[in-house]
Amino acid sequence: MSHRRLFLAIVSVLLLTASGVAANNTLTRRSRIGGDQKLVSPGDIFQLGLFPLADNTKWFLGIWFTVSPAAVIWVANRDRPLNASSSGIVTLTGAGDLVLLDAASNNETVWSSNSSSSAAAVALLDDSGNLVLTDDAGAMLWQSFDHPTNTYVSEMRIGKDVGTGAEWSLSSWRHADDPSAGDFRYVMETRGSPELHIWRKGRKTYRTGPWNGVRFSGIPEMATYKGMFEFQFADTADEVSYMYHACDGSPPSRVVLHQSGVIHRMVWDSAALRWSSFWSGPRDECDRYGVCGAFGVCNEVDAVVCSCVWGFLPRSSVEWGMRNASGGCARSTPLQCGGGAGDEDGFHAVRGVKLPETHGSSVDPGGSLEECGRRCLANCSCTAYAASDIRGSGGGGSGCIQWFGELVDTRFIDGGQDLFVRLAKSDLDTAPASPEPVKTKKFVAVITILIIGFGLLLLWLGFLIWKKVWRGKEATMIDDIMIGDCPTYHFETIRGATGGFCPENEIGRGGFGIVYKGQMQDGQEIAVKKLSTDNRVQGLKEFKNEVDLIARLQHRNLVRLLGCCIHCSDRILVYEYMSNKSLDNFIFGACLLTPS
Q: What is the CATH number of the domain that holds 96?
A: 2.90.10.10
Q: What digits encode the pLDDT tens for the residues 108-158?
A: 999 999 876 677 789 999 999 999 999 888 899 999 999 999 999 999 999
Which positions ≥6 away from 429 have C-beta within 8 Å? none
Is residue 556 domain-shared with residue 576, that is, in the same domain?
yes
Tell how strand 296-298 and strand 329-331 pair up: unpaired
Which positions ≥6 away from 287 have C-beta within 8 Å? 206, 218, 281, 411
Judge whether 445 lies within some domain.
no
Is residue 198 domain-shared with residue 238, that is, in the same domain?
yes
512: pLDDT confidence band, cut at 50, 70 and 90? confident
Can you say which residues are annotated as belonging to the binding site for ATP?
Answer: 530
CA distance 417 to 455: 35
At 488, which amino acid appears?
A: T
Q: What digits encode the pLDDT tens for the residues 157-176?
A: 999 999 899 999 999 999 99
How much is the average pLDDT of 317-346?
Answer: 86
Q: Which carries the bigger pLDDT value, residue 375 or residue 391?
A: 375
Is residue 433 domain-shared with residue 295, that is, in the same domain?
yes
Above 50 in pLDDT, residue 584? yes
Average per-residue pLDDT in the chain? 85
Contact 560, 576 (CB under 8 A): yes
Is residue 275 domain-shared with residue 292, that is, in the same domain?
no
Q: Residue 537 sits in a domain of what CATH number?
A: 3.30.200.20
Q: Residue 463: its pLDDT value, please?
A: 72
How much is the average pLDDT of 252-261?
Answer: 97
DSSP annotation of 214: S
**Structurally, how many domains does the chain consist of?**
4
CA distance 73 to 46: 9
Judge whether 496 lies within some domain.
yes
Q: Residue 258 sits in a domain of what CATH number?
A: 2.90.10
The 3-state secondary structure of 312-365 reads EEECCHHHHHCCCCCCCEEECCCCCCCCCCCCCCEEEEEEEEECCCCCCCEEEE
**CB-neighbour burial class of residue 4 (10 A; exposed 0-12, middle 13-18, buried 19+):** exposed
Judge whether 466 lies within some domain.
no
Judge whether 137 lies within some domain.
yes
Residue range(s) defining the domain that contains residue 346: 287-439
Is residue 210 domain-shared with residue 271, that is, in the same domain?
yes
Q: Which carries the bigger pLDDT value, residue 246 or residue 543?
A: 246
Judge whether 470 lies within some domain.
no
Contact 288, 322 (CB under 8 A): no
Can you say which residues are annotated as belonging to the binding site?
Answer: 530
Is residue 277 domain-shared with residue 334, that is, in the same domain?
no
Q: Give the least confident one: 177-181, 401-405, 476-480.
A: 476-480
Judge whether 1 lies within some domain.
no
Judge whether 18 lies within some domain.
no
CA distance 481 to 385: 83
Judge whether 465 lies within some domain.
no
Contact 37, 49 (CB under 8 A): yes
Q: Residue 440: its pLDDT value, please?
A: 45
Is residue 312 domain-shared with residue 427, that is, in the same domain?
yes
Is residue 388 domain-shared with residue 405, that is, in the same domain?
yes
Q: What percent of the chain has pLDDT over 90?
A: 59
Q: What digits encode the pLDDT tens for the residues 14-35?
A: 333 333 333 499 999 889 999 9
Domain boundary among 439, 465, 497: 439
Above 50 in pLDDT, residue 13? no
Q: What digits encode the pLDDT tens for the residues 460-504?
A: 777 777 666 655 554 444 444 444 567 888 888 898 899 888 888
Is residue 298 domain-shared with residue 412, that is, in the same domain?
yes
407 three-state secondary structure: coil
Which positions ≥6 away from 461 have C-beta within 8 Å? none
Q: Which carries the bigger pLDDT value, residue 453 or residue 247?
A: 247
Is residue 427 domain-shared with residue 291, that is, in the same domain?
yes
Contact 143, 125 (CB under 8 A): no
Is residue 163 domain-shared with residue 186, that is, in the same domain?
yes
Is residue 429 domain-shared with residue 332, that is, in the same domain?
yes
Q: Which residues of 249-262 are buried (b: 16+ CB within 10 A; e: fewer)?
A: ebebbbbbbebebb
